[in-house]
């Protein structure tokens, strides 16, 4: 989702010399393959968006995969980028790196000031290691490696599988399916009270290009909208968008995760960047993308 959005943004800006590899062409968890790629291609700029990602249930169910794959991918890419003399690298983290009970909004300096949220600590520890890798290579070798911390993302290209997805695409699909099947209720997880901030992936892609041009420092930098809402409010908005007329049933045996994740975007705003896509508009566009894709998949069968 993120890599494709960055490619769309770079192409819109006129870059035609992008070095792209699919997962099948280059396994980023394979150190030798990654090193060979960097030695041969010698990229100037690297956007490190590749990661093993998932929603609250996937993170909680597959802790080993989340920590192992992310540590591997980022270590291989960052070290190879250093050896190949890459001019600048942007590493993408996540706001789950901040302590579970950190004050809100989350400022960049809250990193490593308290315990993490247990459902995604494996992913968070890997992402914190990624930030530290960038900082260490900057200090010891003078590499211009920076880290951006996006808030919860959504948009075209997302994972819509209700078992592994994040909340917005998960609920979209549940409501879409329930409407088709004539169900009167959709099951959601937790209490509906946690608050989350959502950023459209095209806004993130713009921010990544902006940071490549305008940011060079050791501290990670937050990327978000500065606005949050409760999961219940998100679900009610999605009910309107998907036209699902049934009820919301919250399964409180499922985890809530962090009570609130709202980032302080002062730093990136002061540099001159702001998110543009309003949540409602972004969710509507994402739902249209999902429905078109479903319809095409069905007619191709
Ligand atoms: P998180 O931000 O790392 O907690 O990741 P998620 O996007 O997976 O979950 C955000 C919040 O939405 C959590 O409080 C979940 O319990 C809640 N939630 C409610 N229904 C769903 C659902 O159907 N899927 C997911 N992934 N989360 C849900």
Closest-CA residue, ligand 1 atom 13, reads 256
Task: Tell me which residue has its CA closest to atom 1 in ligand 1.
Answer: 56
pLDDT band at 295 (very low <50, low <70, confident <90, very high): confident
Residue 129: strand, helix, or coil: helix
Evaluate: CB of 234 within 6 angstroms of ligand 1. Answer: no
Q: Are 121 and 169 in contact (CB under 8 A)?
A: no
137 is catalytic: no
Catalytic residue among 123, 137, 154, 290: 123
Among the ranges given (44-53, 137-146, 187-196, 286-295), the one the predictor scored with the smallest mean pLDDT:
286-295
For 25-57, write each residue's pLDDT tens digit: 999 999 999 999 999 999 999 999 999 999 999
Please tell me the predicted confidence (pLDDT) of residue 80.
98
2-12 and 201-214 are packed helices; what angle lies between their axes, rounded to 10 degrees? 60
pLDDT in tens, 267-282: 999 999 999 999 999 9
In this structure, are residues 159 and 173 in contact, taking their beta carbons and an 8 Å threshold? Answer: no
State pTM to two decimals: 0.97
**Residue 258 alpha carbon, nearest atom of ligand 1:** 4
Which residue's CA is minimally distant from atom 8 of ligand 1? 55
Centre of ligand 1 from the C-alpha of residue 255, in Å: 8
Tell me which of 154, 160, 167, 228 to substitute to probe ligand 1's pocket, judged by most ligand atoms within 8 Å of the beta carbon: 167
């Amino acid at each position: 989702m993120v890599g494709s959005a960055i490619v769309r943004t770079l192409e819109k800006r006129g870059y035609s010399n992008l070095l792209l590899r699919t997962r099948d062409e280059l396994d980023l968890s394979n150190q030798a393959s990654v090193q060979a790629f960097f030695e041969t291609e010698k990229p100037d700029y690297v956007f490190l968006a590749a990661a093993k990602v998932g929603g609250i249930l996937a993170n909680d169910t597959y802790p080993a995969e989340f920590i192992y794959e992310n540590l591997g991918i980022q270590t291989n890419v960052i070290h190879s980028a250093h050896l190949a003399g890459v001019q600048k690298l942007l590493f993408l983290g996540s706001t789950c790196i901040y302590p579970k009970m950190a004050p809100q909004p989350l400022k960049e300096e809250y990193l490593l000031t308290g315990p993490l949220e247990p459902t995604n600590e494996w992913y968070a520890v890997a992402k914190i290691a990624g930030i530290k890798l960038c900082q260490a290579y900057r200090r010891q070798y003078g590499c211009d490696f920076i880290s951006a911390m996006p808030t919860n993302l959504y948009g075209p290209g997302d994972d819509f599988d209700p078992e592994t997805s994040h909340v917005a695409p998960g609920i979209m699909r549940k409501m879409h399916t329930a409407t088709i099947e004539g169900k009167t209720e959709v099951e959601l997880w937790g209490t509906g009270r946690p608050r989350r901030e959502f950023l459209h992936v095209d806004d993130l892609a713009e921010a990544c290009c902006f940071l490549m041009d305008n940011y060079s420092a050791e501290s990670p930098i937050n990327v978000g909208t500065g606005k949050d809402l409760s999961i219940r409010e998100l679900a009610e908005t999605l009910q309107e968008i998907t036209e699902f007329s049934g009820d919301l049933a919250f399964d409180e045996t499922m985890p809530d995760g962090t009570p609130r994740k709202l980032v302080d975007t002062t730093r990136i705003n002061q540099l001159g960047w702001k998110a543009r896509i309003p949540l409602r508009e972004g969710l509507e566009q994402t739902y249209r993308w999902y429905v078109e894709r479903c319809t095409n998949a069905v007619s191709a069968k």
